[in-house]
Amino acid sequence: MGKLRDKMEADLKLKGLSVNTQKTYLTCAAAFVKHYRRAPAAMGRKEVRDFLLHLIDVKKLKPSSYNVYAASLRFLYAYTLERPEEVAWIGHMKVRQRLPAILSVEEIEQLLAELQSLKLQAIVMAAYGAGLRISEVCKLRVEDIDSRRMVIHVRSGKGDRDRHTILPKRLLQLLRDYWKQARPKGPELFHGRTPGTTLSRESVNKAIKLATERARIKKRVTPHSLRHAFATHLLEAGTDLRTLQVLLGHASIRTTVRYAQVSPAVIRRTKSPADRLRKTTAPQPPSQRQRRRSA
């Protein structure tokens, strides 16, 4: 895309979108250009429509993935090319909400045991024990770990919001063991291959996938599964939704409420109004006289 890519990248920054969103939108726009091998400025509504149909009919993209491509093309034409009329018609495909598979405490232990380094164990424990997104774990700095107050300072989380979350004792011990072994240089707690860079989410994802296979866990496990487990296990232990919302960094309580739907333990603790009804006597079978009358 050349200069157009540079302009789109600058526009995305000016809109204040996250780095991950910027990368994703640029990747989707590049796929659109590669599909037609033409400049976006030379195309319009028809090409956009045909490309989105191609994603549905040929690529068989799920609604959530389709929506990302649609958002990218809306941005490309509405802001970068300043031709909003070409994409004003694009809608948002409804995404079916599925309940995630929740790892048990025993499965978390199995996963940790199969990780090949203290660094990976500390990363997974941070995601599970503190409820961090993997992107938040990868960006942690040494100064963010407050062992005196037993909290973690999460900087620039989703929506560019800061928050504090809990620092479990087991995580703190793992971090100390990792520090003694690795002695990370620079502010990053989990640096990439070279000092001054942060560990990539892709590396963590690959390590978790391999550990899941070795542990023979049949559930679909992703880095975000650890955050799901954190929320569900806290709810089952009696943590209220408002506290959980703060720990997870959710802007809306509605996002947090879905974990109550996931946890069978929370559902079992809920009393049905049917259990408050008075006992009723079982209906008696009709007598022989009543049967003759009805006949």
Q: Is 121 exposed, middle or buried (0-12, 13-18, 19+ CB in 10 A)?
A: buried
Separation CA 4–CA 12 (nearest Å): 12
Question: Known catalytic residue: 158?
Answer: yes
Residue 72 contacts residue 28 (beta carbons within 8 Å): yes
What is the CB-side half-sphere exposure of residue 239 using CA atoms within 13 A?
22
Separation CA 232–CA 12 (nearest Å): 35
Question: Known catalytic residue: 34?
Answer: no
198 three-class SS: strand
Question: Known catalytic residue: 128?
Answer: no
Question: Known catalytic residue: 69?
Answer: no
* Sign of the CA dihedral with 33 first, then 36, 41, and 44 last: negative
Q: Pick the catalytic residue: 191, 227, 228, 233?
A: 227
Separation CA 282–CA 262 (nearest Å): 36
| 293 has a pLDDT exceeding 70 | no
pLDDT for 261-278, tens place per residue?
767 776 677 676 777 777
208 three-class SS: helix
Separation CA 213–CA 114 (nearest Å): 9
* Predicted local distance difference test score (pLDDT) of residue 289: 64
Separation CA 216–CA 219 (nearest Å): 9
pLDDT for 93-136, tens place per residue?
998 777 778 899 999 999 999 998 999 999 999 999 999 999 89
* Predicted local distance difference test score (pLDDT) of residue 186: 72
CA distances from 276 to 197, 271, 272 (A): 60, 9, 8
- Report residue 144 as tokens: 């963010």
Q: Pick the catalytic residue: 158, 163, 164, 214?
A: 158
Q: Pick the catalytic residue: 139, 191, 233, 250?
A: 250
Question: Known catalytic residue: 220?
Answer: no
* Predicted local distance difference test score (pLDDT) of residue 129: 95
Residue 229 contacts residue 102 (beta carbons within 8 Å): yes
Question: Known catalytic residue: 268?
Answer: no
65 three-class SS: helix
Work out the mean pLDDT of the chain and round it to a whole number.
89
| 282 has a pLDDT exceeding 70 | no
- Residue-range domains of the chain with CATH: 3-86 (1.10.150.130), 105-269 (1.10.443.10)
Residue range 208-228: mean pLDDT, rounded: 94
Confidence (pTM): 0.71
pLDDT for 141-183, tens place per residue?
999 999 999 999 998 888 778 999 999 999 999 999 999 998 8
pLDDT for 44-100, tens place per residue?
999 999 999 999 999 999 999 999 999 999 999 999 999 999 999 999 999 877 777
